[in-house]
């Protein structure tokens, strides 16, 4: 991958920095209600971490070139540092990708605790109506524990096959039709379809989706209230992905496991399940990478000890029992090993066994440093001689894979109001700030609207900006801040013609072109 820092500098796409809600509430974001938080706050020094050590860790983050969206560090049950890289902020749900798997595992553990299932139950027991005509010995031997430990015996991950099931065919039936080519339990193979089947088992034995089942048992005890979990057409939560919640709730989840399932004097999850889920159940490598230290029940084991919930593009709830610490991270990072290496090599050595003397100077320096940093939108020209000519004109689009019919750009003061029309749907209106983010009123609907065909199929608030790259080229930059990703659109005007060139954020961070075709249009009439 090319040097990302050079790429960003040359492209002018963002100014790297942090928007932090610091360790003391008095330094916090005044727009966030203090009542929202249920975890205690403390200074780093009181919990055995020098403020200068956290500054060192933040410098390592910048040096890693990875794009963090939020960070929360807990020590001895106290939040000692918390950050949201603006325009991301504390109240917004974060897309967790495969961190969802650890919540699915938790639902299984609760069902085990209630006597509804055991990890040694055969999977075929729950779906007799979906079994193939001939049940192989390996399929008959497949147990819940094999789903949990990613040792199903499939030759490849099954999730894309499940998602491609013919209309009306239950995904469980598709899963059970796949050949189990290896003896279950004999080898590790990451399989998101296994996580879906765990979710399907929860619905089968409880009559509720995993999300519904967890609400009184996990969410309510932990005061997790602002969460969503996507489901397939059967109403079964995806299990492997599609869970969203604010960063603090992600941190609470890790803290619950650190406390062996205990929360405010109540045993929310049995300590036996915490121990079993976080233990190594299968080898998955040769200790030569962050992912090669063994796998538990939908949890990864950490090189320095402990375990973690781990999602694509750098979503983590890292549990470190030997240090009595939790580190929660959300991001859009291309090299997540670098992220975790900064945690292992820089942050963890700063955690001392006893409280440290107060260091007001270092702490004030840390707070001021963090408050001053943020992600800026591209800083471009604010004017173009054609803006008045095109303002309010409707551009009819050629046929395209996105079913987008027309777009309009209306320039009003230092805002650009973009309107997208699609067949049979309400208009999508995004207000873009001139070289600044606007979030208020901006919403990206789900189901791949706004041209993107990627896995950002959630409603999301949009932080949007615009600027002119030259007299005829407008750049719209959008961060879907309740998902991991975003888009930018280069809009080239040539008389009455328009060309829109999309660029997905993953491609931007990798320095690669987008694989979507240009969208063409023109003013008619």
310-344: pLDDT as tens digits: 999 999 999 999 999 999 999 999 999 999 999 99
CATH number for the domain harbouring residue 494: 2.40.128.20
> Could you tell me if 167 and 62 lie in one domain?
no
pLDDT at 53 over 70: yes
> Could you tell me if 53 and 178 lie in one domain?
no
473 in a domain, yes or no?
yes
| 505 close to 380: Cβ distance less than 8 angstroms | no
DSSP summary character for residue 126: G
**Which tens digits make up the pLDDT trace of 149-185?**
999 999 999 999 999 999 999 999 999 999 999 999 9
Confidence of residue 453 (pLDDT cuts 50, 70, 90): low
Amino acid 5: pLDDT: 29
Amino acid 18: pLDDT: 32
Amino acid 477: pLDDT: 98
> Could you tell me if 76 and 120 lie in one domain?
no
Amino acid 454: pLDDT: 67
3-state secondary structure of 16: coil
Amino acid 153: pLDDT: 98
DSSP state string for 198-255? HHHHHHHHHSS-HHHHHIIIIIHHHT--S-EE-B-TTS-B-SSS-EEE-HHHHHHHHH
Domain count, the chain: 3
Amino acid 363: pLDDT: 96
Amino acid 16: pLDDT: 30
> Could you tell me if 38 and 69 lie in one domain?
yes
378 in a domain, yes or no?
no
> Could you tell me if 367 and 391 lie in one domain?
no
Q: Compute the average pLDDT of residues 128-146.
A: 98
> Could you tell me if 66 and 107 lie in one domain?
no
Q: What is the distance between the alpha carbons of residues 179 and 139, in angstroms, rounded to a whole number?
A: 8
CA distances from 98 to 9, 73, 436 (A): 31, 20, 32
pLDDT at 298 over 90: yes
Amino acid 10: pLDDT: 29
> Could you tell me if 446 and 399 lie in one domain?
yes
DSSP state string for 340-391? HHHIIIIIGGG--SS-----HHHHHHHHHHHHT--PBPP--BS--TTHHHHT
Confidence of residue 382 (pLDDT cuts 50, 70, 90): very high
pLDDT at 36 over 90: no
pLDDT at 9 over 70: no
Q: Compute the average pLDDT of residues 410-439.
A: 94
DSSP state string for 305-338? SSEEEEETTTEEEEEEGGGTEEEEEEEE-S-HHH
239 in a domain, yes or no?
no
Q: How many CA atoms lie within 13 A of 469 on its CB side?
A: 16
Q: What is the distance between the alpha carbons of residues 40 and 78, in angstroms, rounded to a whole number?
A: 5
> Could you tell me if 81 and 200 lie in one domain?
no
Q: What is the distance between the alpha carbons of residues 194 and 142, in angstroms, rounded to a whole number?
A: 11
Which among 315, 317, 374 is positioned nearest to 95, based on CA atoms?
Answer: 315
Q: What is the distance between the alpha carbons of residues 69 and 65, in angstroms, rounded to a whole number?
A: 13
- What is the share, in percent, of the chain residues with pLDDT greater than 90? 84
Helix (H) or strand (E) holding 172: helix 171-177
> Could you tell me if 252 and 346 lie in one domain?
yes
> Could you tell me if 196 and 257 lie in one domain?
no
Task: Calculate the average pLDDT of the chain.
Answer: 91
Amino acid 288: pLDDT: 77
Q: What is the distance between the alpha carbons of residues 65 and 333, in angstroms, rounded to a whole number?
A: 8
Task: Compute and round to an integer the Cα radius of gyration of the chain.
Answer: 24
pLDDT at 447 over 90: no
| 325 close to 74: Cβ distance less than 8 angstroms | yes
Amino acid 451: pLDDT: 66
309 in a domain, yes or no?
no
Amino acid 458: pLDDT: 86
- Give the torsion sign (CA, 504, 507, 512, 515): negative
| 43 close to 80: Cβ distance less than 8 angstroms | yes
Q: Compute the average pLDDT of residues 71-82.
A: 96
Confidence of residue 285 (pLDDT cuts 50, 70, 90): confident
Q: Compute the average pLDDT of residues 400-419.
A: 94
Which residues are within 8 A (CB) of 243 and not within 5 positions of it... i.e. 6 or more apart? 96, 99, 100, 103, 211, 227, 228, 229, 230, 237
pLDDT at 2 over 60: no
Amino acid 368: pLDDT: 84
| 501 close to 469: Cβ distance less than 8 angstroms | no
Which among 96, 84, 65 is positioned nearest to 342, based on CA atoms?
Answer: 65
Q: What is the distance between the alpha carbons of residues 481 and 93, in angstroms, rounded to a whole number?
A: 8
233 in a domain, yes or no?
no
pLDDT at 190 over 80: yes
Task: Indicate whether this model's pTM tops 0.85.
Answer: yes
Amino acid 29: pLDDT: 34
> Could you tell me if 254 and 337 lie in one domain?
yes
| 143 close to 123: Cβ distance less than 8 angstroms | yes
pLDDT at 24 over 50: no
188 in a domain, yes or no?
yes
> Could you tell me if 320 and 399 lie in one domain?
no
3-state secondary structure of 282: strand
Q: Which domain holds residue 256?
A: 17-92+246-264+315-371
339 in a domain, yes or no?
yes
CA distances from 406 to 134, 416, 428, 520 (A): 53, 16, 11, 10
- Give the torsion sign (CA, 416, 477, 63, 284): positive
Q: Compute the average pLDDT of residues 355-365.
A: 96
CB-neighbour burial class of residue 137 (10 A; exposed 0-12, middle 13-18, buried 19+): exposed
220 in a domain, yes or no?
no
pLDDT at 22 over 60: no
């Amino acid at each position: 991958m090319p040097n990302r820092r050079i790429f960003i500098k040359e492209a002018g796409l963002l100014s790297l920095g942090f928007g932090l809600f610091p360790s003391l509430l008095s330094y916090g974001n005044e727009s966030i209600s203090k009542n929202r938080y249920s975890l205690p706050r403390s200074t780093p020094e009181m919990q055995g971490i020098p403020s200068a050590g956290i500054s060192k860790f933040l410098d390592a983050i910048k040096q890693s070139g990875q794009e963090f969206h939020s960070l929360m560090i807990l020590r001895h049950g106290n939040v000692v540092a918390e950050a949201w890289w603006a325009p991301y902020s504390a109240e917004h749900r974060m897309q967790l990708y495969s961190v969802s798997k650890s919540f699915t595992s938790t639902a299984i553990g609760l069902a085990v605790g209630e006597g509804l299932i055991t990890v040694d139950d055969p999977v075929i027991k729950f779906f007799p109506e979906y079994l193939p005509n001939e049940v192989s010995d390996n399929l008959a031997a497949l147990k819940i524990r094999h789903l949990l430990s990613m040792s199903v015996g499939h030759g490849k991950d099954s999730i894309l096959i499940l998602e491609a099931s013919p209309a009306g065919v239950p995904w469980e039936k598709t899963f059970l039709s796949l050949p189990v080519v290896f003896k279950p339990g004999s080898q590790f193979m990451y399989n998101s379809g296994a996580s879906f089947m765990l979710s399907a088992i929860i619905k089968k034995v409880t009559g509720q989706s995993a999300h519904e089942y967890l609400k009184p048992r996990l969410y309510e005890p932990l005061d997790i209230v602002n969460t969503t979990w996507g489901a397939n057409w059967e109403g079964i939560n995806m299990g492997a992905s599609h869970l969203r919640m604010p960063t603090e709730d992600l941190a609470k989840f890790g803290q619950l496991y650190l406390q062996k399932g205990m929360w405010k004097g109540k045993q929310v999850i049995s300590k036996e399940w915490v121990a079993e889920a976080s233990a190594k159940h299968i080898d998955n490598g040769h200790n030569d990478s962050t992912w090669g230290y063994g796998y538990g029940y939908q949890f990864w084991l950490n090189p320095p000890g402990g375990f973690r919930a781990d999602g694509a593009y750098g979503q983590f709830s890292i549990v470190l029992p030997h240090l009595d610490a939790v580190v929660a991270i959300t991001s859009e990072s291309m090299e997540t090993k670098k992220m975790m290496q900064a945690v292992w090599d820089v942050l963890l050595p700063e955690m001392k066994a006893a409280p440290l003397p107060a260091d007001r100077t270092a702490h004030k320096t840390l707070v001021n440093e963090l408050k001053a940093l943020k992600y800026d939108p591209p800083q471009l020209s604010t004017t173009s001689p054609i803006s008045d000519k095109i303002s309010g004109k409707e551009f009819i689009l050629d046929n395209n894979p996105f079913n987008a019919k027309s777009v309009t750009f209306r320039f009003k003061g230092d805002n650009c109001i973009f309107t997208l029309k699609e067949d049979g749907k309400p208009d999508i209106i995004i207000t873009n700030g001139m070289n600044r983010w606007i979030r208020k009123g901006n919403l990206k609907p789900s189901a791949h609207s706004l041209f993107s065909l990627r896995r950002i199929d959630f409603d999301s608030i949009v932080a949007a900006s615009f600027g002119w790259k030259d007299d005829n080229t407008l750049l719209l930059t959008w961060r879907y801040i309740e998902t991991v990703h975003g888009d930018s659109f280069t809009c080239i005007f040539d008389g009455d013609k328009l060309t829109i060139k999309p660029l997905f954020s993953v491609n931007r961070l990798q320095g690669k072109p987008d694989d979507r075709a240009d969208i063409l249009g023109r003013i008619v009439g």
